[in-house]
Amino acid sequence: MTLPSTRDIPVLIVGALLPALQQAVEANFSATRYWELPDAKAWLAEHGAAVRAIATTGAWGASAELIGQLPSLEGIFSFGVGYDSIAVDAARDRAIVVTNTPDVLDDCVADTAMALILDSLRRFTESDRYVRAGKWQQARFPLATKVGGKKLGIVGLGNIGQAIAKRAAAFDMDIAYHNRNPKAGVIYRYVADLDVLIEESDVLVLAVPGGKHTDRLIDARRLALLGKNGYLINIARGSVVDQEALIHALEKGMIAGAGLDVFAHEPAVPERLLALDNTVLFPHLGSGTFETRQAMSELVLENLQGWFLNDRKVVTPVK
């Protein structure tokens, strides 16, 4: 992972990276840990003009305010597929390249989505709690819901959405999807009207990017369309769902359940969600495997190397 001839290039690391990635960036660049600066404002005033790159994550992002204080900034190199936390428009206005790490995490995120589907309908983790609490000795665990044959609606049939569909097909689910436009070359049924897809679905999976275009895409009205027998699965972004409306719908039995890997204000999870048995809650672990995180780290470094050592060529620019 050594990147020769880059040791004097100033890189601002916005927030903590995975240890191996952070070590590699710090070993090969003149890196500064922004989140540890005792006086970030003073540091930026003195050193900001020299910074040529930002290393960040989908969680830490890069604000327009920060970008504006780095006049020599050439690139923002992010660990993660989502980039709604990065002021992409501000970067584009100055021809600053932005990269992310797509594709390499598709399988693991899709695995997570399928796990949430199975767990939400079959109540596996709920039954685990039941056994551990000694309740099995008093009564049999209640019946759950079969997965095979259920109608699965996928909102966002990008690479991750397609990987989810492939897994769901193996469980004999009836798959349909909604995108802004039909996806060429796929066998699944396209539904142009999102409301219609939701009404038709037993299970609704959200696999869209975050950002202003999808903010609270699933609100109280659309949760009502999903109905009392419907399940919501979110591996996209917490912002895609009106979280308060979701909690209300779960508490009142307006939908059957939810499987969530993302939340509105991570890592904070509302106590009302924690108290519900009809929820499966994961700590944003979609891509959380050794293999995938290693591949993501290598892609961040490959993008950095491509920009500074290979005539400003990056592998995965945000378009």
Catalytic residue among 126, 237, 293, 302: 237
Q: Within this chain, do residues 227 and 114 fall inside the same structural domain, yes or no?
A: yes
Q: Within this chain, do residues 149 and 264 fall inside the same structural domain, yes or no?
A: yes
Inter-residue contact 116 to 304 (CB < 8 Å): no
Is 318 inside a domain boundary?
no
Q: Tell me whether residue 284 is one of the annotated catalytic residues.
A: yes
Q: Within this chain, do residues 111 and 81 fall inside the same structural domain, yes or no?
A: no
| Closest of 224, 237, 242, 234 to residue 259, by C-alpha | 234
4 pLDDT band, cuts 50/70/90, is: low
Is 230 inside a domain boundary?
yes
Inter-residue contact 197 to 177 (CB < 8 Å): yes
Q: Within this chain, do residues 148 and 269 fall inside the same structural domain, yes or no?
A: yes
Catalytic residue among 36, 46, 251, 266: 266
Q: Which residues pair with 280 in a beta bridge?
A: 259
Give mean pLDDT, residues 51-66: 97
pLDDT, tens only, 134-167: 999 999 999 999 999 999 999 999 999 999 999 9
What pLDDT, on a 0 to 100 scale, did the predictor assign at position 315?
96
Domain span at residue 64 reads 10-104+290-309
Inter-residue contact 226 to 256 (CB < 8 Å): no
If you count them, how many residues does the chain have? 319
Q: Within this chain, do residues 74 and 94 fall inside the same structural domain, yes or no?
A: yes
Phi, psi (deg, nearest 5) at residue 154: -110, 120
Q: Within this chain, do residues 294 and 148 fall inside the same structural domain, yes or no?
A: no
> What whole-number distance in Å separates Cα of residue 181 and Cα of residue 94?
30
> What whole-number distance in Å separates Cα of residue 312 and Cα of residue 317?
11
Q: How far apart are the first and last CA of the chain?
A: 26
pLDDT > 90? residue 232: yes
Contacts of 38 (CB under 8 A, 6+ apart): none
pLDDT > 60? residue 182: yes
Task: Output the domain CATH number for residue 54.
Answer: 3.40.50.720
Total count of domains within the chain: 2
Q: Where are the alpha helices (DSSP H) in 98-158?
A: 106-122, 124-132
Is 315 inside a domain boundary?
no
Mean pLDDT of the chain: 96
Q: Tell me whether residue 266 is one of the annotated catalytic residues.
A: yes
pLDDT > 80? residue 221: yes
What pLDDT, on a 0 to 100 scale, did the predictor assign at position 45?
97
pLDDT > 70? residue 2: no
Is 271 inside a domain boundary?
yes
| Closest of 216, 154, 161, 159 to residue 190, by C-alpha | 154
Both tokens assigned to 8: 């004097």
Both tokens assigned to 167: 């897994």
pLDDT, tens only, 263-312: 999 999 999 999 999 999 999 999 999 999 999 999 999 999 999 998 89
Q: Within this chain, do residues 23 and 128 fall inside the same structural domain, yes or no?
A: no
> What whole-number distance in Å separates Cα of residue 57 and Cα of residue 76?
10
CA contacts within 13 A on the Cβ side of 187: 5
Q: Within this chain, do residues 156 and 170 fall inside the same structural domain, yes or no?
A: yes
Q: In which element (H, E) is residue 309 found?
A: helix 290-309
Helices (H) and strands (E) in the chain, counts: 12, 12
Q: Within this chain, do residues 92 and 150 fall inside the same structural domain, yes or no?
A: no
Q: Within this chain, do residues 266 and 299 fall inside the same structural domain, yes or no?
A: no
> What whole-number distance in Å separates Cα of residue 235 and Cα of residue 7?
37
What pLDDT, on a 0 to 100 scale, did the predictor assign at position 87?
97
pLDDT, tens only, 67-95: 999 999 999 999 999 999 999 999 999 99
**What is the pTM (predicted TM-score) of this model?**
0.92
pLDDT exceeding 90 applies to what percent of the chain?
Answer: 97
What pLDDT, on a 0 to 100 scale, did the predictor assign at position 3?
47
Catalytic residue among 126, 284, 293, 302: 284
> Each residue of 162-175: b (16+ CB within 10 Å) or e?
bbbbebbeeeebbb
5 pLDDT band, cuts 50/70/90, is: confident
Inter-residue contact 294 to 286 (CB < 8 Å): no
Q: Within this chain, do residues 125 and 264 fall inside the same structural domain, yes or no?
A: yes
> What whole-number distance in Å separates Cα of residue 280 and Cα of residue 258?
6
pLDDT > 80? residue 132: yes
Give mean pLDDT, residues 165-188: 97
